[in-house]
Structure 1
Amino acid sequence: MTNKQGSHSNRINLDDAPAYLIQRTARLLRWHFMRTFIGAHSGVTPEQWMLLNRLREYGKLSQVDLTDRAFRDRPNITRMLEKLEQRGLVEREPDPEDGRRQLVTLTDQGERFLEAAAPLALEERQVVYAGLSSDDIELLRRVLAQIEQNILDSAERD
């Protein structure tokens, strides 16, 4: 089927597709984070930053629970934790109740790292959200959470 201009009506304009905009924005956020934090000589990736913050938020977690909370796959989490452990930011130990499981903890050095990086993170948050009101940001959170839930619900039905 074609429209008046002779183009196909079932074609999607990616620039207007919310899913494409979300993906593009996510890539830009990652690039911005890397530029900012590598520029600050932290050497921490966005994914590692998220793991450190999850550990700060939840305390000691099994590696499986951390994987679930970080929404990542196990091999990637294992590699990231190895790097963070080498830097002294986290430590892993066998779970005394189940020796097959590893428990992950944010170290004092990891806590100090997050504290030292917080001002830079807050400053960059201001750059990212410039021009948005607190209501805009709350609406964005709600919309993204609903999209996420729709996808998770769809996956459960499959």
Structure 2
Amino acid sequence: MSNTFKHRNLPHLFLSAREALMLRFRPILSSAGITEQQWRVLRILFDEKHLDAATLAKRAQVLSPSLTRMLRVLEESSFVERHSDPQDLRRQIIRLSALGRKTVIRLSPQIEAVYLELETAIGPRLLSSIYQNVDDMIQRVQGD
């Protein structure tokens, strides 16, 4: 065993945790014909009235060119609506359409059921602690 590293590979550990979690959510999204990235966008827009494209890309952790392509697909599928910002015509404002909102609401019981399964498997205390600790870590690493 090498003594080169004193710490475990934390980014890899988070990727492993993400994959373990997404195995539970993917079938739901797949059955709805929605990709993981599209779900992130829809879920964020569900919680916000509307967002500009740059803010949405940052919050959804999607590169701007990828978001542009994804928004085209989501708009063609009638999940989102895009409009120019009246104060700055270069900016696009994105919001969920009625169909997008209905889709998120329709999937929410299945998504929430997965969260309840997770809570049962690991316990509400640990789940709450994970949320708090990850939020704290992000805030400290970003220096906010």
Q: TM-score when scaled to structure 2?
A: 0.86
The verdict on how the C-alpha distance between 1:60 and 1:13 changes in structure 2, with shifts beyond 3 A counting, is: closer
**Would you say 1:111 and 2:101 are equivalent positions?**
yes
CA separation in 2, counterparts of 1:19 and 1:64? 25
CA separation in 1, counterparts of 2:6 and 2:19? 21
The verdict on how the C-alpha distance between 1:13 and 1:36 changes in structure 2, with shifts beyond 3 A counting, is: farther
The verdict on how the C-alpha distance between 1:80 and 1:29 changes in structure 2, with shifts beyond 3 A counting, is: farther
CA RMSD of aligned residues (A): 2.1
Deviation at 1:81, TM superposition (A): 1.3
**Would you say 1:57 and 2:51 are equivalent positions?**
no
**Would you say 1:36 and 2:41 are equivalent positions?**
no
Q: Name which of 122, 134, 137 aligns with 1:144.
A: 134
The total of aligned residue pairs comes to: 144
The verdict on how the C-alpha distance between 1:98 and 1:85 changes in structure 2, with shifts beyond 3 A counting, is: same
Deviation at 1:99, TM superposition (A): 1.0
**Would you say 1:26 and 2:18 are equivalent positions?**
yes
Divergent runs of 4+, >6 A: none
Partner of 1:3: none
Q: Name which of 110, 116, 126 aligns with 1:126.
A: 116
**Would you say 1:10 and 2:4 are equivalent positions?**
yes
Contact residue 29 and residue 39 of structure 2 kept, 8 A = no
The verdict on how the C-alpha distance between 1:132 and 1:29 changes in structure 2, with shifts beyond 3 A counting, is: closer
The verdict on how the C-alpha distance between 1:86 and 1:31 changes in structure 2, with shifts beyond 3 A counting, is: farther
Deviation at 1:18, TM superposition (A): 4.2
Structure 2, unpaired ranges of 5+? none
CA separation in 1, counterparts of 2:84 and 2:107? 29
Query: Which of structures 1 and 2 has the larger relative contact order (alpha carbons within 8 angstroms, sep 6+)?
Result: 2
CA separation in 2, counterparts of 1:83 and 1:30? 22
CA separation in 2, counterparts of 1:145 and 1:13? 21
Partner of 2:60: 70
Map of 1:77-96 to 2, 5 A cutoff?
Answer: 77-96=67-86
Contact residue 50 and residue 95 of structure 2 kept, 8 A = yes
